[in-house]
């Protein structure tokens, strides 16, 4: 009875979630477009709000592009695992259709090289190396995740400072005793406009940073979950498929040595056998020399007996 190998589609589900979430966000933006227009465009007196919001959006888009690239990369990694399992199940070359830079291909080549060199395979070391390698690739994403909310706070501080400047203008215009009524009202109106603009900018920058942080933070956590999932599947495939496959394809004599734990002494035994064969050859040569000497001695004894008893030799 054979069991069907499971197909891993973890990353595909996350990409579908990303499409659904951003579709909902786009729908909300279209639905509340009038309010968004008032907050982000109509009440923007100068370019401070646009600059801060633009920086938040630009950083969010850069991080989002990197996230999408990584998710598609891990999607290909999952497909490579599924393809390798199918190849081994069909008794084909495990790396058919799999690029060598994929993690599962590198793991297979590493195990194959260690097996051919008859080296000890420490799977814990391989797993720790893979975890460190994947974690080191998250530096930019960590930076974006940590800096998004700080940019929003920075924009809020700038906007509140602008509001305080507007309030200061209102107070100064109210305290001028000798000023004209028209100029005083104009100064108060200008200060009030600056104050409202500052509050509106504080709201827009804070709202932009929070929304960007929530969406990016969620999918950043999903990326780390995907890394954990992929690493766990690599180790599972290594233990249940790759190592048994490589051991099964070994030479039977070598596999017997491996099973008995005598493989480290194979080279030592071969050296001892060579020394033993050399001793055997030397003993055989000495015995041959002794046999030749005995043959010559027997000939001399026969000659002496023939001459002593005056016997005919074979030559006569």
| Residues 272-308 pLDDT 10s | 667 666 766 776 777 677 666 666 666 665 566 566 5
CB of 177 closer than 8 Å to CB of 209: no
Instruction: Supply the angle between the helices 139-174 and 48-89 in degrees, to the nearest 10.
Output: 160
pLDDT on residue 71: 92
Q: CB 314: neighbour CB atoms within 10 A?
A: 6
Per residue in 209-256, pLDDT (tens digit) is: 888 999 999 999 999 999 888 888 888 888 888 888 877 665 554 455
Distance CA 256, CA 266 (A): 12
Closest by CA to 14, choosing from 57, 70, 55, is 70
Give burial (CB, 10 Å; 0-12/13-18/19+) of 237. Answer: buried
Mean pLDDT by 10 residues, the chain (316 residues): 53 88 90 82 70 88 93 91 89 87 88 82 82 85 88 79 67 55 59 66 82 91 90 88 76 50 54 67 71 65 60 54
pLDDT on residue 219: 93
pLDDT on residue 2: 40
What single DSSP character describes residue 180? -
Q: Is 21 helix (H, G, I), strand (E, B) or coil?
A: helix
Closest by CA to 270, choosing from 287, 253, 249, is 253
CB of 166 closer than 8 Å to CB of 201: no
What single DSSP character describes residue 4? P
CB of 11 closer than 8 Å to CB of 75: yes
Does pTM top 0.85 for this prediction? no
pLDDT on residue 279: 67
pLDDT on residue 291: 65
């Amino acid at each position: 009875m054979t069991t069907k190998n499971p197909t891993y589609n973890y990353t595909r589900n996350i990409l579908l979630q990303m499409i659904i979430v951003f579709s909902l966000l786009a729908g909300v933006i279209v639905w509340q477009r009038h309010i968004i227009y008032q907050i982000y465009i109509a009440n923007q007196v100068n370019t401070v709000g646009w600059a801060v919001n633009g920086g938040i959006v630009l950083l969010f888009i850069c991080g989002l592009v990197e996230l999408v690239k990584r998710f598609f990369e891990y999607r290909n990694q999952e497909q490579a695992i599924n393809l390798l399992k199918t190849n081994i199940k069909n008794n084909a070359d495990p790396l058919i259709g799999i690029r060598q830079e994929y993690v599962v291909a590198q793991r297979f080549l590493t195990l194959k090289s260690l097996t051919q060199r008859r080296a000890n395979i420490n799977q814990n070391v391989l797993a720790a190396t893979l975890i460190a390698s994947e974690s080191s690739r998250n530096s930019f994403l960590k930076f974006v995740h940590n800096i998004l909310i700080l940019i929003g706070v920075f924009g809020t501080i700038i906007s509140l400072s602008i509001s305080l400047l507007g309030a200061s203008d209102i107070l100064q215009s109210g305290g001028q005793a000798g000023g004209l009524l028209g100029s005083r009202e104009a100064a108060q109106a200008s200060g009030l406009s600056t104050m409202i603009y500052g509050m509106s900018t504080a709201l827009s920058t804070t709202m932009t940073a929070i929304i960007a942080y929530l969406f990016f933070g969620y999918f950043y956590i999903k990326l780390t979950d995907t890394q954990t999932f992929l690493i766990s599947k690599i180790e599972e495939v290594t233990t249940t498929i790759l190592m048994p496959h490589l051991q099964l394809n070994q030479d039977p004599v070598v596999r017997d040595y491996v099973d008995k734990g005598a493989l480290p002494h194979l080279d030592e035994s071969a050296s001892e056998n060579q020394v033993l064969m050399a001793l055997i050859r030397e003993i055989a040569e000495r015995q041959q020399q002794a046999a030749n000497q005995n043959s010559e001695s027997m000939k001399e004894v026969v000659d002496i007996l023939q001459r002593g008893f005056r016997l005919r030799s074979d030559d006569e």
